[in-house]
């Protein structure tokens, strides 16, 4: 199926690894000009802009580079998120994060995306429209005592996404969110990452946490963590003109993590 992405200009944040890298590669393979915003360069055929999205000025620089290189922006994928730099998740319990933790979590998972949208929308409007996909989380709609600050930031992102879709949909800018469940990225697999933290709590090996403990703990119907490529494939479909009537939607790609109707 031709997704009609050839020649379109896509900005992807957090594109150096995990979901972001899979998205950047997939859009490039579909013929898009990809501008990757991340602190380190991705292993992909893209235009890299080295930025720290905790810097409030970074989004303007990223969009300006896309305009300079390719003349505009058609697609924005706000993927950067998760633990802020230097932070290890999970954190268990409402009292675990302090004020600084909450502020850093919202800065990385909400404000960076808000600033990217603010920078990109005027450029998209000048080209007659565009498509924005914000990577959220199943935790936004399934609250719990684990990572409460992260879930709250992603819930706020869902609200912003819906609001922006309502305001700019009539002008041709579509906005959707994807809510992954646990995805097999270095958030889980790196030394000291989530798998190691849960292994210490559960008295299990890291490998067993990834293969059995985590899918069981999160009641994943598929029995496994999500592959980053599965998120990237959904992104590619949502940003495609073939999804032209899909806006304001939240798509769960989560292995059955969310249980409500």
Active site residues: 150
**Helices of type H across 169-250:** 186-189, 194-202, 206-208, 214-217, 228-239
Q: Angle, nearest 10°, between helix axes 112-126 and 58-70?
A: 30
φ/ψ (deg, to 5) at 237: -70, -40
For residue 39, what are its two tokens?
A: 């602190």
Q: H or E segment at 156? A: helix 148-168
How does 33-54 read in b/e, with b if 16+ C-beta sit within 10 Å? bbbbbbeeebebebbbbebebe
- Comparing CA positions, the residue from 60, 67, 70, 65 lying closest to residue 118 is 60
Evaluate whether 79 touches 23 at the Cβ level (below 8 Å): yes
Residues in the chain, overall count = 261
Q: Kindly give, in sequence order, each residue whose CB lies less than 8 Å from that of residue 142, ignoring residues fewer than 6 positions away.
A: 151, 257, 258, 259, 260
> Taking the CA of residue 98 as centre, how many other CA atoms within 13 Å lie in the half-sphere pointing to its CB?
1
Beta-sheet strands, E only, within 74-215: 75-78, 130-135, 173-180
């Amino acid at each position: 199926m031709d997704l009609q992405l050839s020649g379109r200009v896509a900005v992807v944040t957090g594109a150096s690894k995990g979901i972001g890298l899979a998205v950047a590669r997939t859009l490039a393979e579909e013929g898009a000009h990809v501008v990757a915003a991340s602190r380190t360069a991705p292993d992909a055929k893209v235009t890299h802009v080295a930025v720290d999205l905790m810097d409030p000025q970074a989004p303007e620089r990223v969009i300006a580079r896309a305009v300079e290189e390719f003349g505009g922006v058609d697609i924005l994928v706000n993927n950067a998120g998760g633990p802020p730099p230097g932070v290890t998740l999970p954190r268990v319990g409402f009292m675990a994060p302090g004020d600084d933790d909450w502020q850093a979590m919202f800065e990385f998972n909400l404000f960076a995306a808000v600033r990217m949208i603010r920078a990109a929308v005027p450029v998209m409007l000048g080209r007659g429209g565009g498509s924005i996909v914000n990577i959220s989380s199943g935790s936004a709609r399934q609250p719990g005592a684990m990572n409460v600050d992260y879930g709250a930031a992603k819930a706020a992102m869902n609200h912003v996404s819906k609001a922006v879709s309502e305001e700019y949909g009539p002008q041709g800018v579509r906005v959707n969110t994807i809510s992954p469940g646990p995805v097999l990225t270095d958030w889980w697999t790196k030394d000291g990452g989530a798998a190691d933290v849960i292994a210490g709590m559960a008295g299990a090996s890291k490998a067993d946490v990834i293969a059995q403990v985590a899918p069981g703990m999160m009641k994943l119907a598929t029995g496994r963590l999500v592959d980053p490529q599965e998120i990237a494939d959904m992104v590619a479909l949502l940003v495609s003109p073939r999804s032209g009537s899909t806006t304001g939607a939240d798509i769960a790609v989560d292995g059955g993590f969310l249980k409500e109707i």
